[in-house]
Structure formats: C-alpha cells, structure tokens
Amino acid sequence: MSIPVRERFTREIRNVAIQASANAIDDIGSRLHILSLALAPELGTVERAIRHFEGASPFPTTEREQIASYVVSAIERRLLDGDKLIPLRHISENPLGWLDSFSRACVPSGITQVRRARMRDARAIGATLPEVGDTLTFPSAEDSYIGHVEQMHAELALRMLEENPSMGEWERHSIAAHTFARSLGVPLPHIGSNRDRRWICEQLERPEFAVELRSSLQAAHDLAAGSPEWDQLGVDERLLDLWLDYTPSRSEALLGADPQKLESIVRGVAMFPPRPQEAERIAVRRAAKAASERRGWPSLVMVLERAWVAEFFDARPAHDNMDRRTDAEAEADRAADAEKWEDAAALVLAFPGSPAGADATTPSDVARWLGGLLAASS
C-alpha cells in the first residue's frame, strides 16, 4: 500500500530536520532540502493556500501566479533568511503544520502587493489618458474578499493593542497606523528620507498641524483630480509627498474618515523606533568587528554603529530613566552623530574585503547589514 502524499512528505521533512538538529548542524544544505520538499508540486502547499481564499471565484491566471510567487518567496525567506530563520526543531515537531499555516498567512499580503501593482499601473495609464482618470479599474475576483481580509487584520491588531497595554509607544503607533490604513483600504503615506521623517515628527507636536495635514491631503486629491485651488500650490512638498501613492478615490476614503485616524496613520509611519539597548548595541559592534581582521576596521565599526543608530533610531532607548539630558540635548547629540552616517557608510563600502557583504553597494545596504546583526542579537 502506498503512503499518502502528506504523510510521506511529513516523514521526509521531519527526518531531515531531526538529523540536522541531532548533529547540531543548522546548515544551508539541510534547509535547501527542506525547501525543495516544501515547494514540491506534488505536495501543493502554495496552491492549497491560495485556494483557501478563492472560494467559488478563482483569481485571474496572471494575478494568481503573482500571488503564488509572493508566497514562495516568503517561504524561502523563512527557511533561508538569516534574520528570521524558523528553527529546525520547530520544523521537526510539526513539518507541515507550520508550512500550511505560514503559507496561508502570506496570501493576503501577496494579494495586497498585486493590488498595489495594479493600481500603480492604472495611475501610469491614467497619466497618459486624462479622460479616464481615477475611474480606470481592473475588476478581479480578489476585490470582493480584500475588504474582508483587511477588516480581519484591523480587528486582530486592535485587539492586540487592547490586550497589551505595556507595549512600547513606537510599536503601538506603528500597529495603529497599519490597522487604520488596512481598515480604510488605503496605502501607508510615503516619506522619502529620514530627514523628512524627523521634520514630520516635529510638526506632529504642533496642535495646528492636524489641520495642515488634512489640507495637504485635500490638496493632493485636488491636484491628482486636475482641479487644484490656487493656494494649494503653496503646500509644503514634504507634505504633498506623503500622498504620492494615493489616487483621488483613496484620498477621499481617508478624508472621509475620523481626522484622528489620518494623524495616527502619519504618526505611525513617521516615528522612529527607540534606540537599541546598550547590550544589543554591544552585540552588534562585536558581530560587525568580526567581519574583518584588517587594521582600522574596529575603530571604523565604532563610528559606523554610533552613526547608524543616530540616523535610523530615536534619540533615546525605550523605558530609559537614567539619561539626565533634556530632550533638546539628546536630539542635538543624535543629530551630530547622524551627520557622520553617509561618510562612515562610504568608508565601509570602500573597505578591503567587503566586510558588509559582497553585494553591499549603497549606504542602504550597509544599514540593512547592521539591521540584520541587530535582529540576530535580539
């Protein structure tokens, strides 16, 4: 009697994971083997996850393939990405349980990505066909369930906020922003640089900024619709840039919502995460120094890490009661260190042996490398 497909794959994946765990070897070969089994067409993991959301109306073929590609990439990252590897022990305990659950959880995000790509295409076409404008749509079977999925995400996120009152301020604002954006079916605002983010954070502390924020969204709506008012042409470009990904209909959805949601969405995107704790920073510096034995590297790492933290994080750690500096003093120190970021990153990219990775070619790549070291230390 032949062994059922799922049972056979369960055994094979479990055996690979157990053998690697028993030998204390979490090697890339074992993970690649597990990945090949997880994505085997005969097992149909991705196909089954997508069908769960289709119901009686299948997605169009092209979009279905794009969603499947997104889910496959997510599985690959979960098995191979050094930042968020799933432990082999967890795989061996429930070989297909985690795989089915994770695949299914990735489908809504994949559909959202497809929808956003479709909307970008629509805007591009609309730019050359003014008479079509924002009415250009691409109906598909996914639209009927996207609202349900977004509402489900919103309810789960709000429940998490209610059940975790001790959650940090940055986490709460970030979750709230994603929650409100999903519930309204609008994209998160666009902020082009850290400098703009910090400027917006400063503006959010002014009581009158709520009115200016709403006015900028209205201006972006009217400009996109081709009917701007004269005074809207003077709106700060940093505010107009927030709404680069908004069509007139998306702007209307946010303009019609509670004004507090508008401010909350922007605040959650603009805020910086709290500065890492000192123990985490020490771990990052230690790991970074280990990337090269060449002379001068350790001292460069010290400057680099300090500048990176200043550029990409808040001026203070979370729950810090020991720092006696005023907010103005802490921010001044942060800004001074942040000015060294570009130069320090450039020195790292030019350093012999490519300690930040052979693929690192920009300061953003260096930042991602350090971010990976931080994640590994947490």
> Distance between CA 35 and CA 13 in Å, rounded?
9
Instruction: Taking residues 250-276, report their average pLDDT.
Output: 90
Helix ranges, the chain (H) = 5-22, 28-38, 45-54, 61-80, 88-93, 95-128, 143-163, 169-184, 194-203, 209-225, 237-240, 248-255, 259-270, 278-289, 297-312, 327-338, 341-350, 363-377
- Asked if the model's pLDDT at residue 266 lies above 90, the reply is yes
> Do residues 189 and 266 lie in contact, with contact meaning Cβ atoms separated by under 8 Å?
yes
Residue 120 banded pLDDT, cuts 50, 70, 90? low
| pTM of the full structure | 0.57
- Asked if the model's pLDDT at residue 206 lies above 80, the reply is yes
pLDDT in tens, 312-352: 999 888 777 777 888 889 899 999 999 999 999 999 999 99
Type of residue at 144: S
Cross-strand pairs, 275: 317
- Asked if the model's pLDDT at residue 212 lies above 60, the reply is yes
pLDDT in tens, 1-18: 456 788 888 888 888 888
Instruction: Taking residues 232-243, report their average pLDDT.
Output: 86
> Of 27-31, 118-122, 358-362, where does mean pLDDT reach its minimum?
118-122
Mean pLDDT across the chain, nearest whole number? 80
> Distance between CA 310 and CA 321 in Å, rounded?
19
Highest mean pLDDT among 73-77, 105-109, 347-351: 347-351
- What's the pLDDT score for residue 125? 39
- What's the pLDDT score for residue 129? 34
Provide the token pair at 90. Answer: 């967890």
Provide the token pair at 53. Answer: 């959301």
What share of the chain has pLDDT > 70, as a percent? 80
Residue 122 banded pLDDT, cuts 50, 70, 90? very low
- Asked if the model's pLDDT at residue 197 lies above 90, the reply is yes
pLDDT in tens, 159-186: 555 555 556 788 888 888 888 888 888 8
Residue 355 banded pLDDT, cuts 50, 70, 90? very high
- What's the pLDDT score for residue 328? 87
Residue 136 banded pLDDT, cuts 50, 70, 90? very low
- What's the pLDDT score for residue 201? 93
- What's the pLDDT score for residue 103? 86
Residue 117 banded pLDDT, cuts 50, 70, 90? low
> Distance between CA 125 and CA 4 in Å, rounded?
49
DSSP letter at 58 equals P
pLDDT in tens, 137-149: 433 444 444 444 4
- Asked if the model's pLDDT at residue 24 lies above 60, the reply is no
- What's the pLDDT score for residue 140? 42
Instruction: Select from 319, 194, 210, 209 the least CA-distant residue to 269.
Output: 194
